Every structure is written in C-alpha cells, then in structure tokens.
Amino acid sequence: MPGAAALNDLVETFDLLGDWEERYRYVIELGQALESLTDAERHPGTKVSGCASQVWLIQDPPADGTLHWRGDSDAHIVRGLIAIVLELYNGLTPEQVRDFDAQGAITRLGLSEALSSQRANGLASMVARLRADAAQIIR
C-alpha cells in the first residue's frame, strides 16, 4: 500500500500514539522490522550522502513497473525513518516516486517539528536518493 494510502495509515497510527515519546518508540519498532543488509551490500555505492548516521539504500530490480528499495542504518531512529520512507515509496512507479509530495508527507506526520535538523537533512537525502533512482529509469 504505497504512497498516499501508506501515508494515511501512518498518520492515523501516529495520531493514536499521541505524544512523541510513543511515536519515537514506534519509529524504532518499524526500523527493527527491517531486514538487515549484508556487509557486502554496505559499500560506498549504496551509502546515502548527506546523512549524519550511516545510511544505505539498495534498489531492487523493478518488478511490474514498480520500484522497491531496501535500507539499513547504524542508528535506531534513522533505521525507523528508512522504514517510513520505504513504506511510502516502495511499490510506486518511477513517475509516482517523482511526483510524490515528500515534504507534505513529512509535515503530515509531524516529523518536520519532531526531528533535529541533522535527521531532517538525512531524511531529505534519503528521499533525494529514491527520486534520483527513479529519474534514472524515467530517462
């Protein structure tokens, strides 16, 4: 359930959780559910620049016209942010990735107020990486 539907589900869950202490716990739980990348998959070509923590994103081969990524980080909250980004973007077409309003999603989730500037910049770098991957396919 990519894009807007995934965003609506995440917003609903965040609203139910209430305060940011509970939301952070949930974000960490989302990150714990991610499958770890292998050591071989963690290399400079998969590393996302612009993140204070180490972040790796790998695009799997497109299937049925949709894109899918896997990701990992050395920081618990950042790993959870990766899980959120992947929930929003996995299963979208390259054009949908290009057109998805990431800043609007971040605002709806309340992340723009809750994240430090370093984490917000890292989140923006992750989204930029996904968009760059999608743009390679659109060309």
Catalytic residues: 51
Print the SS3 string covering 9-29.
HHHHHHHHHCCHHHHHHHHHH
The Cα–Cα gap between 2 and 130 comes to 14
Question: 96: which residues sit within 8 A by CB, 6+ positions away?
Answer: 2, 3
Token digits for 88? 């929003």
Burial, 52: exposed, middle or buried (Cβ in 10 Å; 0-12, 13-18, 19+)? middle
